[in-house]
Amino acid sequence: MNRILLFFLIAVFSIFLGSQITEGFLLVPYWKTLSKTDFYEYHSKFGPIISEFYTVLTIIAVLIPLSISVYCLFKKSHALKYSVISSFFAFLIIIIFYAYFKNTNQKFHENAFNTSQLKLVLETWGDWHWVKVVLEILSLFFLILSFNILSNKKRPDDKSLI
């Protein structure tokens, strides 16, 4: 597989991961400092933009290990096991989104939490966010392992690649 393409795909996934880390270190702590009124005002103004940005980036990022798994399957590459593991972690990110974030973000949109609930929900939101970041790091790690095998020019049956 073309090394430039592999580098580009790693860069895209890394941008996704970096944006998630930025959200965890900058946005979430900022949200926690806001009053209930200020938070809902902020969310009303920026929530849809943030959601749209992360939706597109997440879909693209999750499709990378999935498409590499399909490629490895087609090519019968030893990288398949690593790309499947990467895809597994990427799918867990999607599962967590639908299991927790989708409903909670909708409740933010509806201004559904009182002051004490909002404080607790933002703490929980932040904790789940870091769980996603760990899964993204694991997904990227296994994606890089699969790309290392794919970009290596040695014979495919060479066990030193694995």
Structure tokens at 100: 């927790």
Q: What pLDDT does residue 149 have? A: 95
Task: Find the mean pLDDT for residues 58-64.
Answer: 97
pLDDT digits (tens, 9 = 90+) for 62-76: 999 999 999 999 999
Q: Residue 82: is it exposed, middle or buried by C-beta count within 10 angstroms (0-12/13-18/19+)?
A: buried
For residue 111, the SS3 value is coil
What's the whole-model pTM score?
0.90
Place of tokens 């965890």: 24
d(CA 43, CA 107): 11
Burial (CB count within 10 angstroms: exposed 0-12, middle 13-18, buried 19+), residue 61 = buried
Mean pLDDT, range 102-108, rounded to an integer: 97
Local structure of residue 161 (DSSP, 8 states):
G
**45 pLDDT tier (thresholds 50, 70, 90):** very high
**Residue 1: HSE in the Cβ half-sphere, 13 Å Cα cutoff:** 21
Residue ranges with strand state E in 22-120: none
Domain ranges, ordered by start, for the chain = 3-152
Residue 157 has pLDDT above 80, yes or no: no
